[in-house]
Structures are given as C-alpha cells and as structure tokens.
Structure 1
Amino acid sequence: MLTLLNSNSLTITFFVTLSLSLFSALFMLHPRVPLKFVRFHVGIYGLSPLMSLLNLVTLKTNKIYGPWHLDPLAWLTALFVLTIGFVIQRYSIRYLLGDRNYRKYFALFTFTTGSASVAWLSDDLRWLMVFWGFTLLGITWLISLNKKWQAAKTAIARSGQWLTLSWLMMLLAIIWLAQATGHWQLSFVLAKDSLTNLGSWEKTGINLLMVFAVAIPAAQYPFQRWLLDSVVAPTPVSAVMHAGIVNAGGILLTRFAPLFSGDLAQIFLIVLSGFSVLLGTGMILVQVDYKRQLVGSTIAQMGFMLIQCALGAYLAAIIHAVLHGLFKSTLFLQAGSVVHHYKRTNPTTRHSPLIWNTAGGLLGLAVGFCYWINDNGTGHDFISALLLGWSVSIAWTQLVTSGHGHIGRIVGFSLIAGVTIVFNIIHAAFKDLLHGTVSEVVLPSATLLILVLFILLSGNAVVFWSTRHHSSTSFAALYLWLVRLSEPHPNSVESHPKFLVLSMSKGGNKK
C-alpha cells in the first residue's frame, strides 16, 4: 500500500511540475517580465524530466491511473522527450538571444515537448489524439515564428498541410478502431477479445491509415519535402523535431503492436520505408548543405526504424528511436560549428593491405553470427545481425584499415571495442527495463525477410555499380534524380533572406 501511495505521489508530482513549467512559459510571454526569467523557467522545466526518471526507476508494475497508461515504455518516452527539450532550451538561452521571438520560442518548446510526453502517457485514445495534435501544432508554430521571411512562409504552409493530413489519418484510424472494438481505452482495445471483433479487411484498413500517419512525420517517400523545407527554421527547432515527433512512428507502432503485427500492412511499410532508406542515403551523398545532409540521414534512419517495426523487432525500434533522437539532436545543435572543422586537404590514394580488409570482413561476420545466436536466431534477428556485422566491417575499414600507421590502427580498434561494449550495455539495459512491456509479438514471415534482403542487396548493388561508372549517362541521371528529390520547394530557398535586407535598409534610413 505504501509503495502504491509513493508511486501515485510521484505520478502526481510529475504532472504538477509539468503544469508549473507550462504556467512559467505563459508568464514569461508578458513583455514586462525580464529576460533573465528565462533561466528560471528552464530550471523549472528541468524538474519534469527528473520526475519522469524517478517514476521510471521506481515503477514496479504496469498500471492504469485514470486516463493514463503508466508503464516503463510510457515513462521512458516521457523522459526521452523532456530531456531533449530541456537540453535544447538550455542551449537556446544564448543561441536565440536577440531574436524578436525569443520568449515565444521557449514557450513553444515547452508546449510542444510537454504535449508529446503526455500523449505517450495516455491510455484514452481521445487524449492521445488531442495531445498529439497539440504536438504537431506546436512544431508548426515553431517553424512559423519568422513569418517575414518568404522561405519560412512556404515551409509553414507545406509543413502544416502534411502534418495536418497525418493527424487526420491517425484520427480516422482511431475512430474506426474505437467503433469496431467498442472501447476508447488503449488497454481494452488491444485485448485479445477486442481484436477478435475486427475483420481482416478492417484490420488492414486501420493499419494502412496508421502507416501513412506515421510515414508523414518520419518524412518517408513521397512525404520527405516538408522536412527538407523545415531547415529554414532555427537549428534548435530542427533539433526538437527529434524529441518523439519525426521518430514517433516507432513509439506509436510499438504501442499498437498487437494490432499491427501479422497484417498485410507490414509489407507495404517495408516497401515504403526500404525505398526511403535508399533515398535518404543517396541524399547524404549528393547534398552539400549540412542541415539537409542531416535531414537525409534522418529519412534513412526513420525508414530503418519502421522496417524494424514491420519485422516485429519493437524493442530494437524503441532503442533506435531514443538513441537516434539523442544523437541527431546533438548533431543539429553542433551544425553551426561545422564550418570551423573544415580543412582543405590534398586527397591521396592509399591502398590498404589485403589482410586488414579480410580481417574486417571476418570480424563483421563473427559479430553478426554471435548476435544472431545469442538472440535465439529468429528472422528479424537475422536482419539485425546482418546489419550489425555490416556496420562493424565498415567501421573497421574506416577506423582501422584506413588508419595512419600502427598508432592510428590501435586507436581505431580501441574505438570499435569501446562502442561495442557501450552498445551491449545499452541493449541489455533497455531489454531489462522494457521486459514485459515491449515484446516481439509475431515472428516475420519468410516473405518479409526476403523483401528486406532484396532491398538491402539492391541498394548495395547500386552503390557498388555507381563507384565504378562515374562517367556513365546512367550515373548522371541517378545523381540528378537524387538531387531533385533531395531539394526543398524552390520558394523555400533564398540565397540571401530579403527580410534581412529590408530590415537593414530601414535601419539605415532611420540613422
């Protein structure tokens, strides 16, 4: 009884601290409040991720608390979203200082991440849709703050249209699901008795709506342009998109895993996401703008995360969503310092010894095989093992084989060993934490595995071919096609923002 009381107290305290941060954000909007209050607001906001961490650590069993579904996955997601929000707000104190919308940025950061965290804590599907709608609205408002810039206006229109369409498709899927099962509570909807009321065509229809609803925020093909347009927003806005928004698909499909697993919609998701993985990778290779390279990486990574969901590897998808969000947010916040790291180098051709290349291939094969055996040797684990072994082999080539001298190879090998140890620790921690909450519901069929292997091998074949046919017409056509798909809308690009020119000219006239 005492444990339950403490658990309820922590839950109430979490919502109290989150509410305080929202009130603080509203109070900060008043023009008479000094700007120094921003630091105080960020301190108040920092209590929310702390309370979500305490709830995650002390939670012993899954429980339904009113309209809230409080389990390790819910608290982990809230911790993830709010932590990224706190880091970005702390970073923005000096980064955005001097911007005319300085106060509004912090208020909208709080509103957006707070809504996202509450959405994933919801057991009532109606509350889920309300707070998820607030989250998408908050992101749209963040992009739209700089309305005097024509490029920003175009990004607002396109982003708002696609995100609204995503929300409406998810709303339609939720209403259809609730009407078919007779429940609005997620825990009741996903019960076996409720799911048996769904016909096969109803299940596929609902799942296809959900697939489109998650593919749009994840910027999967052909919806990638809205994320490319959004790079005109300040860097902290691009970073906060990775706080459970563009990577929300993994969380959402994991929540609805009993409904999604074993359905024909998985095949459609694999095809859509597989093509997006190849497209995003191609964008990285052809784009010269650093933020658009990061967007291309996000498209590819989100595609891979959705493939993991389609294969039933929901635990891997959650790990991917969290780690990718933390990593990519950091890269966006460091985008401004990239120019300082650029160094002009004279390219030299270095031929690596065959023994080092062979060692890398054998190491990747051994790591992948050990991973597959230790994880029961199931189908989706085979794909994960293949990709893991492939990654180790590539890392060996970049860090060890291409290392400068014995010292460089030793440092490269040490980095690979360190990353491997950290990966195993994180994987074991997540597996222990989410045991009983996130499970591999249905093993993938042979058709799904063959389809994923075909996509991976096709992409590898294209890369292998392109490296040997740089001067061919087909390579030029492929290159230009990737450039066209990776470019934002023409109206969302300006070589020099016109509103800055107007502001400078007005200032000069006043003087």
Structure 2
Amino acid sequence: MWTLTLFLSSLLAASFFYPLEFQFGQILLIDHLGLIISTAVALFSSIVLSYSARYLAGHTKLRRFLINCALFAISAILMAVANHILLFIASWLSMGLFMAELIGGYTQYHEGKASRKNARNYFLGSTALVGAGLLWLAILTGAWSISEIISFVKSDSQLAAWGPSLLLIGGAVVQSALFPFQRWLMSSMTAPTPASALMHAGFVNAGAVLLTRTAPVLYVSDLLWVLVLVGGIGALIGKFSKFVQANIKQKLACSTTAQMGFMLLQCGLGFFSAAVTHLILHGFYKAYLFLSSGKNIEQKSPYNGDNKRSWKQWYLPVTLLSGLAGGWLFALTTGKGLEINSGLFLTFVIVLTVIHGAQDFLGRSSLPLLSRLIALPIVVIPFLLAYAVVFNSISTLMQQVPMAEMAVPIAWDQLTIGVLYLATFLAIELKWYKKSRRLYVYLLNVSQPKSNTILQ
C-alpha cells in the first residue's frame, strides 16, 4: 500500500510542473509519460532489490543478480525518456538482454541456460522488429528523434506508415508475450521469484510505452484494428489458459498474457492513457502476487464437492445489477461510454469484468449470504472510484502527449471482439469450457513452456 501511495504522491508532485517537457537535443525527452513510467520503474525495482537481498541471501550470485536488476531498471528508465531512435533501440535491446540474464542466469541446471537462450532469442526478435520500424520511419521522414518523427507525421496525414506500424505492433506483441509468442513467458519459470516480479510488473508492459510514444503513426496508418484483434484474442487465450494450470507461477504467467492483451486492446481503442494506467496498476498487483506467491502453496483436491450453491437464483440478478452499476459508475467518473464510440466498448468490458468479479466474490466468501450481498457494493464502489482517480490523474498528466487519448468510432473489429468476449463470459460463468476435452488439450498445449526449460 505504501508503494502505491508513494506513486500517487509522485503523480501529484508532477502535476505542479504541468505541462512538463524538457528536450536535451535529440537525445532525451522528459515529459509526463517518461516521468510516470520512470517513477513506476524506480518503485518496482527498489522493492524487488530490497526483497532480493533477503530472498537470495547467501546465494553465490546475489551481487550479480542485484547488479543486473539495477542495470535493467536503468535501461527501462532510459527507454521511457529516450528521444533519439538509436537510444530507444539500444535501451530496448539492453532491457531484453538483462532480463534474459535474470531469467536463466542464476541456476546451475541446464533448464536455466535453455530458458535464458530461449528468452534472448525472442527479445532479439522483438528488438529487430522495433528497430526496423523506427529506422523505416526515420528514412520516410528524414528525422532521427521520436518527437521530430511525430511532428512530421502529424503534418503529413498521407504518410505511408502502415509498414513501420506493423513492425512496431509486432515488437510490442512479442514483448507482451501475446499469442503466438507467449512461449517465452511460459518458459521463464526458472527465474528467481524477484526476477519474475520485475518481469511481470515492468518488462512485459513496455509495449504500451512504445505504442503510446508512436500513437500518431498508428493513427495515420489506420491499423488500430490490428491491436484490437491481436490484443482481444490474446487476452481470451490467456484467460482460458489460466484455468488449466496447476502451477502458481504458470497461472500468474497466463494471467499476465491476458492483462497484456487487454492493455494492447485499449491502445487499439485509442485510449493510450488508459493502457498506461493499466500498465501501472497491473505492475503493482502482479509484483505483489509474485512476491507473496509462497503463501498460496497448499495441498488441495481439484474437486472438493462444494460447487453446489442453493442460492444460485439469487446471485445471478445481483451480479448483473452489480455489473450495470459498475459500468455506469465507470462511465460517470471517467467519461468513457457516454458517447457511441470506442469508449462504449471499453465500458462494456468493464461491465463484464465487474459481473465476473462480483460472482467470484459471492461464490468464494466465507460470509453468510446476506452479509455478502451487503458487502458487495462496499467492495466494488471504492475499487472503481480508486481506479477512476488514478485513470483521471494519468490522463490529465498525459494531455500533452500526442494523441494519447482519442476515441475511435465503433467498427467491425470491436463488434467481433465484443461477441467473442460475451461468448467467453458465458462459457466461463456456465462452465461450458469444462465440457470440451479438445479445448482443454489445446489450452494446455498452447500454454506449455518449452520442454528443455522445465525443471526436472
């Protein structure tokens, strides 16, 4: 809690310097986006370093681990404030190389070495895509800084930027471990728990920073629909894959792919500031889950016979009303969903999320039924209000970031993902997915790590 409070305090301090934009030649660009990401990275890395010093106490490679964590954090901060495309590419590459070392460099087993090599190959591929996309833009515009490229793109709406945009999207998808590139994340379980926390809290989120920096290019190329489809489908596969996992860290990995899919989906809807908000909140949440994952280890029967609920007819209308109320509160506090555009689709996803969360709360709580019904709004309302505060704060600070928030019309891509989301919601809530062995086998296979990275 204190870390989130410190982060919010940093945002409040930053608001006193609004608008903020310092350029150091073509090398660095320090604006509110860079400040937000740098603050988050500094907080996450300081927590992980402090935890690691105790968690790995006595390990022969502790000093090396801490140095690599610090170098990774420096690389991530440089990426957030880089303006020259060569510096951005170099920091993106160094992030990947340091993370690959954190994943597999601290075990004597051959699985660790295989995991490090596998991750490094993916990260080199991601760097190649991002580098090619940025260099292509530099050739098209004649500019070598991101700010100058964006200025050129905004003044030339006819720029043929679809090629660079596809490359940048590809790099973001690989970094975010979305289907079909999720295997590197599933194969990274050899990493020490602090490294996993740093990876899931910060590294996989870098795709949102890249896409937010280059948002005008994506608008001009008219390829936001690709992000909607890729992000939406990736989120669905990650969500379903989580259900077939028994290992705690593998469950968290599948959850991360689902969250990263939703993050890129928000970029596709034109709400890059919402994606950055998601990046921050997911980082806090996932870092906490990894660093506290040990307490969730328990021996438990897969079928405990407590699935029958005599009050089933009660919680269905209650959860539906909770979802509608949550969607209304989200629209009222953030302004999304009040018009017929992509904000309405985002509110629809929030409604489904609140319904699912409400049903999970009612089904798992040990409180009596009446107490659960009373406690439900007490839990949901503060959560949505807290999200609205963070979202509105970040959106306000990012107003100077080019096209950080620009709703797009509802189109076929959003309708397609909306239908898939609704079908997925019904399949999960009504347990339809448990009736298909073929689906179970597919999800198990698609979410498996490479065989040579599994600890024997």
Measured at CA, do residues 353 and 273 of structure 1 come closer, stay the same or move farther in structure 2, by a change above 3 Å?
closer
Greater gyration radius:
1
Whether the 8 Å contact between 1:279 and 1:300 is mirrored in structure 2 is yes
Instruction: Name the structure 2 match of 1:393.
Output: 355
**RMSD (Å) for aligned C-alpha atoms:** 2.7
Query: Hey, what's the Cα distance between the residues in 2 that align with 1:243 and 1:393?
Result: 26
Asked if residue 451 in structure 1 is aligned to residue 419 in structure 2, the reply is: no
Measured at CA, do residues 414 and 372 of structure 1 come closer, stay the same or move farther in structure 2, by a change above 3 Å?
closer
Displacement after TM superposition at 1:146 (Å): 2.6
Instruction: Name the structure 1 match of 2:309.
Output: 350
Q: What letter is aligned with 1:160?
A: R
Pairing 1:489-504 to 2, within 5 Å after superposition: 489-495=450-456
Structure 1, unpaired ranges of 5+: 1-48, 496-511
Aligned to 2:345, which of 383, 401, 425? Answer: 383
Asked if residue 477 in structure 1 is aligned to residue 442 in structure 2, the reply is: no
Instruction: Name the structure 2 match of 1:160.
Output: 120
Instruction: Name the structure 2 match of 1:239.
Output: 197
Whether the 8 Å contact between 2:159 and 2:220 is mirrored in structure 1 is no
Displacement after TM superposition at 1:253 (Å): 0.6
Instruction: Name the structure 2 match of 1:430.
Output: 394
Greater shift, 316-325 or 142-151, is seen at: 142-151
Query: Hey, what's the Cα distance between the residues in 2 that align with 1:272 and 1:314?
Result: 16
Query: Hey, what's the Cα distance between the residues in 2 that align with 1:426 and 1:242?
Result: 20
Pairing 1:119-268 to 2, within 5 Å after superposition: 119-146=79-106, 148-192=108-152, 196=156, 199-200=159-160, 203-261=161-219, 263-268=221-226
1:390-410 residue CA offsets vs partner (Å, 9 max, x unmatched): 222223323247652333433
TM-score, normalised with respect to structure 1: 0.80
Q: What letter is aligned with 1:357?
A: L
Q: Secondary structure at the match of 1:261?
A: helix
Query: Hey, what's the Cα distance between the residues in 2 that align with 1:433 and 1:335?
Result: 34
Q: What letter is aligned with 1:272?
A: V
Pairing 1:274-285 to 2, within 5 Å after superposition: 274-285=232-243
Q: What letter is aligned with 1:377?
A: E
1:429-474 residue CA offsets vs partner (Å, 9 max, x unmatched): 2233323336323514522322321331343354467x24745xxx
Displacement after TM superposition at 1:327 (Å): 0.6
Q: What letter is aligned with 1:454?
A: V
Measured at CA, do residues 228 and 400 of structure 1 come closer, stay the same or move farther in structure 2, by a change above 3 Å?
closer
Pairing 1:287-436 to 2, within 5 Å after superposition: 287-339=245-297, 347=306, 349-352=308-311, 354-372=313-331, 374-375=335-336, 376-400=338-362, 403-436=367-400
Query: Hey, what's the Cα distance between the residues in 1 that align with 2:429 and 2:392?
Result: 35
Q: Secondary structure at the match of 2:236?
A: helix
Q: Secondary structure at the match of 2:132?
A: helix
Identity of aligned pairs, percent?
A: 25
Whether the 8 Å contact between 1:399 and 1:413 is mirrored in structure 2 is no
Measured at CA, do residues 275 and 97 of structure 1 come closer, stay the same or move farther in structure 2, by a change above 3 Å?
same
Measured at CA, do residues 415 and 372 of structure 1 come closer, stay the same or move farther in structure 2, by a change above 3 Å?
closer
Measured at CA, do residues 100 and 468 of structure 1 come closer, stay the same or move farther in structure 2, by a change above 3 Å?
same
Query: Hey, what's the Cα distance between the residues in 2 that align with 1:142 and 1:349?
Result: 44
Whether the 8 Å contact between 1:269 and 1:306 is mirrored in structure 2 is yes
Greater shift, 324-333 or 255-264, is seen at: 255-264
Query: Hey, what's the Cα distance between the residues in 2 that align with 1:300 and 1:319?
Result: 16
Whether the 8 Å contact between 1:315 and 1:440 is mirrored in structure 2 is yes
Query: Hey, what's the Cα distance between the residues in 2 that align with 1:414 and 1:461?
Result: 26
Q: What letter is aligned with 1:219?
A: A
Aligned to 1:89, which of 38, 49, 59? Answer: 49
Q: What letter is aligned with 1:479?
A: Y
1:296-347 residue CA offsets vs partner (Å, 9 max, x unmatched): 0000110111111111111111111111111111111111221159699652
Measured at CA, do residues 347 and 400 of structure 1 come closer, stay the same or move farther in structure 2, by a change above 3 Å?
closer
Query: Hey, what's the Cα distance between the residues in 2 that align with 1:469 and 1:155?
Result: 31
Displacement after TM superposition at 1:232 (Å): 1.0
Q: Secondary structure at the match of 2:29?
A: strand
1:54-84 residue CA offsets vs partner (Å, 9 max, x unmatched): 9735423232331221111110000011110
Measured at CA, do residues 312 and 351 of structure 1 come closer, stay the same or move farther in structure 2, by a change above 3 Å?
same
Measured at CA, do residues 195 and 246 of structure 1 come closer, stay the same or move farther in structure 2, by a change above 3 Å?
farther
Measured at CA, do residues 118 and 369 of structure 1 come closer, stay the same or move farther in structure 2, by a change above 3 Å?
same
TM-score, normalised with respect to structure 2: 0.89
Measured at CA, do residues 328 and 287 of structure 1 come closer, stay the same or move farther in structure 2, by a change above 3 Å?
same
Greater shift, 329-338 or 430-439, is seen at: 430-439
Q: Secondary structure at the match of 1:208?
A: helix
Q: Secondary structure at the match of 1:183?
A: coil
Q: Secondary structure at the match of 1:69?
A: strand
Whether the 8 Å contact between 1:239 and 1:333 is mirrored in structure 2 is yes
Q: Secondary structure at the match of 1:210?
A: helix
Q: Secondary structure at the match of 1:282?
A: helix
Whether the 8 Å contact between 1:59 and 1:71 is mirrored in structure 2 is no
Whether the 8 Å contact between 2:28 and 2:84 is mirrored in structure 1 is yes
Query: Hey, what's the Cα distance between the residues in 1 that align with 2:433 and 2:199?
Result: 38
Q: What letter is aligned with 1:266?
A: L
Q: What letter is aligned with 2:145?
A: Q
Q: What letter is aligned with 2:359?
A: T
Q: Secondary structure at the match of 2:306?
A: coil
Measured at CA, do residues 420 and 189 of structure 1 come closer, stay the same or move farther in structure 2, by a change above 3 Å?
same
Q: Secondary structure at the match of 1:89?
A: helix
Q: Secondary structure at the match of 1:387?
A: helix
